[in-house]
Structure 1
Amino acid sequence: MIYPENFEHKLGFDKIRELVAAQCLSSLGREQVEAIRFSADATVVAEELEQTGEFVRILQGERAFPANYFIDVRPTLSRIRPEGTFADEPELFDLKRSLQTIVDITRFFRPVDKSDDAQPEYPVLAAMAGRVPVFPQLVRDIDAILDRYGRTKDSASAELARIRRDMSAVSGSISRNLQSILRSAQAEGWVDRDTAPTMRDGRLVIPVAPAFKRRIRGIVHDESATGKTVYIEPEAVVEANNRIRELEAEERREIVRILTAFTDVLRPLVPDIIQSYEFLSVIDFIRAKARFAESIGAIVTLPQNEPLIDWQEAVHPLLLLAHRKAGKEVVPLDLSLDRDRRLLIISGPNAGGKSVCLKTVGLLQYMLQCGIPIPLHEHSRTGIFERIFIDIGDEQSIENDLSTYSSHLTNMKYFVRHGNERTLLLIDEFGSGTEPLIGGALAEALLERFNRHRAFGVITTHYQNLKQYAEDHEGVVNGAMLYDRNLMQPLFRLSVGHPGSSFAIEIARKIGLPDDVIAEASEKVGSDYVDMDKYLQDIVRDKRYWENKRQNIRRREKQLEELVARYEQDLESVNNQRKAIIGEAKEAAQRIVGEANARIENTIREIREAQAEKERTRAARRELDAFKETVSQTNEDDERIARKMEQVRQRQERRKERKSKKQSPTASNPSAAQPKAERPLATGDAVRMKGQTAVGSVLEIQGKQAVVAFGTIKSTVATERLERVDQAALKRATTRSATFLSAHTADAMHEKRLHFRQEIDLRGMRGDEALQAVTYFIDDAIQVGADRVRILHGTGNGILRQLIRQYLPTVPGVAHFADEDIRLGGAGITVVDLE
């Protein structure tokens, strides 16, 4: 229920209706646009929005939607209902093409996968298309009658084929006779050499100069406007032309007979066919809404079955389109009305955007409940109102003897009588139009009634008592349209929670009103009023200042969180890589030791078995020496890798020492720190050779020599070449050894880790292109050991987001994925945790 009757013009919905109608392909869809009606049924509204949302996905998809022939043939179907009537060739041709379009549309909505459990890609539209009767056989029957140009085929009947054969034969004889006569006339000089037969009244004739018209026997059919040419049908072809006329009449009668016979078959199907065209009209309408929604950046948000407005970044669609043409930006509106804060009182300067804010709320809510998507942020929530009452603009009426204020009070009477907890009130300049004191008092009394009825609403005003009422009563909240005092211009931004100032004195001073006039006006209203207005301005200014501060702090916190997260990820990645390298090195070392022992034992056995065979002994020794050389080369590689790792370790320890010196109280007093005496090596100590990473255990001390067990190998080493290690170093060192990764592979992996970015931007990509990019990106992330990555796909209509989230569960290395934190991008970014 909407009040008053001319609400569409007041809100600008008549313009929306025109824009949607302009997107229709036929009069079928335009009729549906004219039939748009407001609905308070949340189920109906949700279904219409879902249909439009699915069609937006179709427009953004890769499959072309069949939209070639949206032709309204309902007038023809209505005309052929009486017996004896028939559809002519153009009408039948239009019927065939549009019926084929309906068949193609129903096929489009069927599942692409032909398996029994396959689900349609667009379930809501598919359900609607599944109830529509289609007539593929009728299309084939029309194809048997008409050719691709819409003319009746020769094969439509045997009689028609005979008639057209006869016409062709007679036409051929006429042409031959005319050419013979024409050549003779040209030879005699009666006709110019470049003259050719022409057609007059459906008969072939020869153009002849008037002086020679009696030289050719025949019938004069016409002459040119200048009188210099006459058109003669030679006597020899008169009978043939008459025969052509007879055959043309026979052809027409046969075509009428064919079309009448087909129309008799078509007539019983007309009610079902009209139902199919109703479906075509709805599809045209839904497509038009989807194209309009794309043009204004609208999203599909399904409403809750309760009165609710929780909008973020809402924009007025008409203002958006106008500003886009002018190259300007629209300031979005953030607004929340719920059961605790139902009535919003907006105040602020004139031309500051109060009325635009009011109309934005009314237009978007009306569009939503008409099933048209509205331009909001995807995190917004919407609700349903049973009634929308509007009091906007000048309603002065000479016919009804109503002044502007009388009309305003008439509306208020209706609002009070019919308003309830599911009503949305939109009132502009509440209480204006009469003496301010009584106008403000009446407005406050009405506001009290609206609040008592628990109605929702957006109300603009300049009255201070209404601002005060909002501060003192639950369910009512103040709002202000912000104004830049320095630049003396409105910001068109709504700020909820405090009243706004009219900035009357500042605006008067900017316009150039004399200072003495402004001063006198200030004295008349009193210092209290002026001071209160200044306080409101100061509140607005301070709120803007602290809001900017809060946003800056939030932005810096976000940057710090990102830095910390990135460093933690890098550190964890380095640790994982180190563990993997150490594990591979241990396996390689154990393999080398095992192989060495086996080679030694095999050589000893061969020497013992050969005994006096010197050649056999020398060959065994050569094999052992070659293996020892290979091992020594491997050891050299081990030592080179170990030296590099030792350098890295020493750099890390130096950093720790510098950090500990800064934090230690003895750092500033070098004398406070006393060096510890190094105790001599003892049995059981964990040691390693200086410059090496292999760690062993001391078994025995023999003077300046020590017997050390390195794994399964015992070795005697000078104690001066050994250094003691602690347990932490023992853990680190025992896991370090050689790796048999090629230098090329290692360098390539190192380069990939250095340049790998843990975020990919897919915005602007098509579906298949985005999926391929994500596939490569996730593979690289798993290779370099990343534990978390971010996929930036944007919000839009959610197509890329849906495709990516259908793919991610199929990847073995993906442990979890979810929306990014709302402060870092929300649903526009998917965060992926890797195993």
Structure 2
Amino acid sequence: MIYPSNFEHKVGFDTVRTLLQERCLSAIGREEVELTVFSPVYDEVVRRLAETREMMDILMEESDAWPVSYYFDLREMLSRLRVEGTFPQESELFDLQRSLSTIRDLVQFFARRDETRYVALSACAEGTALFPEVLKRLDALLNPHGLLKDNASPALAQIRRDLFQVQGSISRTLHSILRKAQSEGFVEKDAAPSVRDGRLVIPVSPSFKRKLRGIVHDESATGKTVYIEPAEVVEANNRVRELQSDERREKIRILTEFANYIRPDLEELKEAYRVLGIFDFIRAKALFALDNGAIVPRIDNDCRVEWERAVHPLLQRTLKKVGKSIVPLDITLNEKQRILLISGPNAGGKSVCLKTVGLLQYMVQCGIPVSVSDASRFGIFDKLFIDIGDEQSIEDDLSTYSSHLLHMKHFIRNSNGKTLLLIDEFGTGTEPQIGGAIAEAVLHRLNTNGAFGVITTHYTNLKHFAETAEGIVNGAMLFDRHQLQPLYKLQIGIPGSSFAIEIARKIGLSEEVIAEASEKAGSAHVDLDKYVQDILRDKHYWENKRQQIRQKEKRLEELTARYETDQSEMKAQRKEVLNKAKAEAQQLLSEANATIENTIRRIKEAQAEREATRGARQEFEEFRTRLDEKPKHEKQPKEKHKPKPEKQHKKPEQPKQEPIKAGDRVKLAGHDSIGDVIEVDGNNVTVAFGNLKSTVKANRLERVSRNKEKEIVRQKGALGSDSDEVLRQRKLNFKQDIDVRGMRGDEALQAVQYFIDDALMMGVERVRILHGTGTGILRQLIRQYLGTIPGVRHFADEHVQLGGAGITVVDL
């Protein structure tokens, strides 16, 4: 329920409605904007907002795929065809063909995408009739220019053939007569045949009109030229007229027959156009939201206003035009503080605050995104009431104050716990003392009803009442006392001051007048205003201090957490190092014992032969040398080195592996396929695996000896032939084009990676990637990836006639 009837105008929604209509593509969409209304139903509000959010995603990510042409409104034509014997015009038939194609494209847009992607919009399109047979029939009737084809019917084809022949004969005869008349001087040399009343004629000077036998049809405005139809072509022109009449009758017959064909489907067709209008409206809402930086906020199925950085969209647009920025609004209404009583100086932003609350709440319940922060939460109200501005009526003999009282009467009778009240300058319009008393009594009743609201006032008694009444909270529009200018910031929890004395002093009112006014107001009132200002100043100071303390506490918590994390890591690292050291020491001890025992055994077995003993001692000395050198290499403090495998201590040091060169036999690490190295370019190695060539990194290859190769061949057995057959089949079935249009960036990139890998493995020399133009983000991501692949020699746009920037051609 909205009260009064001009609620939209008072909060500015009528302007929002106009801005939405400007973004529509069709009259149907503009009509949907006009029909949109505030909804108190939670599920409906959530559905409307979900539709708009999904459309915002489409406009940001897939705008090039969304159809935006031919949003025609043909409902009036369809209604006209209900009457038997009526028929559409050719232009209307053309509009029907194109708009039905647009409706089909809209519905198929969702059918081609994952069913979980656009749930709300898919539900909106679900069940829409597409009329493929009607489109097929229209395609058969109309040419690309929207005119009936010659073969729309056999009779029309014959009529147009006859007409072409007769007109050709007339043209030849007329040009022959014209050339003869020009040669005899009856007609100007530059004269040419023209048409008068649908008949071909020759322009002749009036002095020679009797020289040319025929019928005079017209003369120029100056009287210097007459238009004569030669007698030789009169009958032929008559035949043209007859054929043209026959053509019109046949076209009407065809159009009437088509009208009879679609007449049973007229209601379904009109419903399809309504769906077209709904999508146009949703798109307009999404565009409006994107233009204003709006979001779809969290919606709760209760009554609340918990907003952060809320912005009035119309005021933001106005300030932006003059280079100014808007001050966002933070406001909270909940069960504990349902009514906010705002006080403060005039022109300090109280009314703007009230209108912002009214407009944003109304927009949300109409399914339109709003400009707030992500942390904001909106509730759902059943009733929105407003009392703002001067509504005196001469016709109804109502003063401003009387109209306010009528509104208050309505508010008291109809408000409840699901009502949001917006009241500006509460209690004004009559004698202040009694006006303040009535306002306090009304506020008490509204509070008793459990209503929510934002109320602005200057009355001191209402500020006092708000301090003691449960459910009501004071709020102040802040004011800079030093600069004597409003800050347009709302502070909840304290009453505001009118700053009347300071403002009077700033504009130059004499000190005598100010002093006299202060004396008449009374020192208690002036002092109270001063105390309120001092409280505001002190509160602002301590709020800043508290914020600083919070920031320091947060920083201290971060440092403490980091310290504890570092300490835990150091303990774990120390434990790991100690464990490694113990393990290595144990390993060294075991090796030492084994070496000593082996040396003794060899000396005994050699029966103390000098050469054998000398060799055993030399090996033992080499082992001791390795033990002495080992700690030097492992003295890196607290670095995470993996311990060497045990077998490295049991075998002599391995010689450094030579780099891979052309002609080597190699295999991919973790695979059994063996190939020949063809070329080495730095870290990139070109290898031939059978008939397939591939470029891989050198660190992914292992040199294969002849014995190792024989062992791999034995292990593979018959499997090798099967693998070759699989690769052959994959190469035969490989397609050199991939279409990633409509995919998200990560999906498209993964598909392209697999595609390029397969192409390299198959030995394909050129492939094409269809990504569309759009915003260019998908194209940029794909090309950045292609630039990192060594196997890609070159990539560029396709030829402009074959797709241009929407397709990337890759040479491998």
TM-score of the two chains, using structure 2 as the length reference:
0.72
SS in 2 for 1:231: strand
> 2:82 corresponds to which residue?
81
TM alignment of 1:103-118, pairs within 5 A = 103-113=104-114
Q: Distance in 2 between matches of 1:89 and 1:270?
A: 18
> Which position in structure 2 is the counterpart of 1:538?
534
Q: CA deviation at 1:412?
A: 1.2
User: Where do 1:794-805 residues align within 5 Å?
Assistant: none
Partner residue of 1:35? 35
Q: Could you report, residue by residue, the CA deviation over 1:465-521 in whole angstroms, capped at 9, with x for unpaired residues? A: 111111112111110000011111000000001111111111111111111111121
Q: Distance in 2 between matches of 1:596 and 1:275?
A: 92
Change over 3 Å in CA distance of 1:182–1:711 after alignment to 2: closer
Cα–Cα, structure 1 residues 316 and 643, in superposed 2: closer, same or farther, change >3 Å?
A: same
1:430 maps to amino acid: F
Write the distance in 2 (CA, Å) between the matches of 1:288 and 1:124. 16
Partner Cα distance (1:197, 1:51) in 2:
61
Q: What is the CA–CA distance in structure 2 between the aligned matches of 1:131 and 1:283, rounded to whole Å? A: 14
> 2:334 & 2:514 partners in 1: Cα distance?
41
CA deviations 1:152-177 (Å, max 9, x no partner) are 00111111111111122222222222
Whether contact under 8 Å (2:298, 2:376) holds in the other structure is no
Structure 1 residue 593 displacement after superposition: 12
Cα distance, 1:609 vs structure 2: 13
The equivalent of 2:745 in structure 1 is 768
Counterpart for residue 345 of structure 1:
341
The answer for the alignment partner of 2:543 in structure 1 is 547
Within 2, Cα distance between the matches of 1:771 and 1:558?
A: 41
Are 1:7 and 2:39 matched, yes or no? no
Structure 1 residues 211, 603: CA separation in 2 closer, same or farther (over 3 Å shift)?
farther
Residue 317 of structure 1 is matched in structure 2 by 313
Contact kept, 8 Å, 1:111 with 1:120, in 2: the verdict is no
Q: 8 Å contact 1:54–1:125 — kept in the other structure?
A: yes
Letter in 1 for 2:110: F
Residue 136 (structure 1) aligned with residue 113 (structure 2)? no
Matched, 1:363 2:359: yes
Aligned to 1:24: 24
Note closer, same or farther for the CA distance 1:575–1:200 as it changes in structure 2 (3 Å cut).
farther
Cα deviations across residues 770-829 of structure 1 (Å, max 9, x unaligned)?
A: 9979x99xxxxxxxxxxxxxxxxxxxxxxx9xxxxxxxxxxxxxxxxxxxxxxxxxxxxx
CA drift of 1:39 comes to: 1.8
Q: CA deviation at 1:540?
A: 0.9
Q: Distance in 1 between matches of 2:97 and 2:258?
A: 13
Residues 61-70 or 429-438, more deviating: 61-70
Are the counterparts in 2 of residues 309 and 337 from structure 1 also a CA contact under 8 Å? yes
The answer on whether the counterparts of 1:49 and 1:302 sit within 8 Å (CA) in structure 2 is no
Q: What does residue 422 of structure 1 align with?
A: 418
Is the counterpart of residue 93 in structure 1 residue 94 in structure 2? yes
The 5-angstrom pairing of residues 779-818 of structure 1 reads none
Contact 2:475 2:493 in 1 (8 A): yes
Question: Which residue matches 2:382?
Answer: 386
- State the distance in 2 between where 1:346 and 1:47 align: 34
CA RMSD of the aligned region, Å?
Answer: 4.1
1:397 aligned onto 2:397: no
SS in structure 1 of the partner of residue 144 of structure 2:
coil
Match of 1:121 among 117, 124, 129: 117
> For residues 595 and 181 of structure 1, what CA distance do their matches in structure 2 show?
123
Residue in structure 2 matched with residue 52 of structure 1 by the alignment:
52
Deviation, structure 1 residue 569: 7.1
Aligned residue type for 2:325 = E
Pair 1:263-2:259 in alignment: yes
Who is 1:484 aligned against? Answer: 480
Instruction: Tell me the distance in 1 between the aligned counterparts of 2:187 and 2:602.
Output: 123
Equivalent residue of 2:203, what SS?
A: strand
Which one is further off, 413-422 or 216-225?
Answer: 216-225
1:449 aligned partner: 445
Match of 1:344, SS? Answer: strand
| 1:100–1:136 CA contact under 8 A, matched in 2 | no
CA offset at residue 581 of structure 1?
10
Match of 1:237 in 2: 233
Match of 2:332 among 312, 315, 336: 336
**Structure 1 residues 430 and 583: alpha-carbon distance in aligned structure 2, compared to 1, 3 A threshold:** same
Moved more, 503-512 or 239-248: 239-248
Structure 2 alignment gaps of length 5 or more: 652-682, 684-742, 754-776, 778-812
Change (3 A) 1:293 1:177: same
Percent of aligned positions with the same letter in both sequences?
57
Q: Which residue of 2 aligns with 1:524?
A: 520
Deviations 1:24-57 (A, max 9, x none): 1111111112212222111222211211121111
Q: For 1:150, give the aligned amino acid.
A: G
Q: CA deviation at 1:296?
A: 2.0
How big is each residue's C-alpha offset from its partner over 1:250-279, in whole Å with a ceiling of 9 and x where there is no partner? 111111111111111111110111111111
Aligned pairs (5 A) from 1:554-573: 554-559=550-555
Q: 1:304 aligns with which of 300, 306, 328?
A: 300
- Aligned pairs for 1:574-593 (under 5 A) are none
Structure 2 equivalent of residue 741 of structure 1: none
The 3 A distance-change label for structure 1 pair 558 and 200 is farther
Measure, in 2, the Cα distance between the counterparts of 1:630 and 1:135.
90
Question: What are the residue-to-residue correspondences of 1:605-620 with 2, within 5 Å?
Answer: none
The change in CA–CA distance for 1:236 and 1:392 in structure 2 (over 3 A counts) is same
The partner residue of 1:196 within 178, 187, 192 is 192
Amino acid at match of 2:526: V
Q: CA deviation at 1:69?
A: 1.1
Contact kept? 1:480, 1:496, Cα under 8 Å: yes
Corresponding residue SS for 1:97: helix
Query: 2:745 corresponds to which letter in structure 1?
Result: D
Q: Equivalent of 1:376, from 367, 372, 379?
A: 372
Distance 1:329 1:631, change over 3 A: farther
Question: Which residue of structure 1 aligns with residue 799 of structure 2?
Answer: none
SS, match of residue 399 in structure 1: coil
1:212, distance to aligned residue in structure 2 (A): 3.6
Aligned pair partner of 1:467 in 455, 463, 468? 463
SS where residue 213 of structure 1 aligns?
A: helix
TM-score by length of 1: 0.70
Q: Does structure 2 conserve the Cα–Cα contact (< 8 Å) formed by 1:340 and 1:474?
A: yes
CA 478–188 in structure 1, closer or farther in 2 if over 3 Å, else same:
same
Whether 1:514 and 2:514 are equivalent positions in the alignment is no
Q: What's the counterpart of residue 764 of structure 2?
A: none
The letter of the residue matching 1:450 is L
Indicate how the Cα distance of structure 1 residues 767 and 555 shifts in structure 2: closer, same or farther if over 3 A, else same.
Answer: farther
The alpha-carbon deviation at position 562 of structure 1 amounts to 5.4
Q: Structure 1 residues 606, 296: closer, same or farther in 2, change over 3 A?
A: same
Q: Deviations 1:709-735 (Å, cap 9, x if unpaired)?
A: x9999xxxxxxxxxxxxxxxxxxxxxx
**Partner residue of 1:205?**
201
Amino acid at match of 2:292: I
Deviation at 1:461? Answer: 0.8
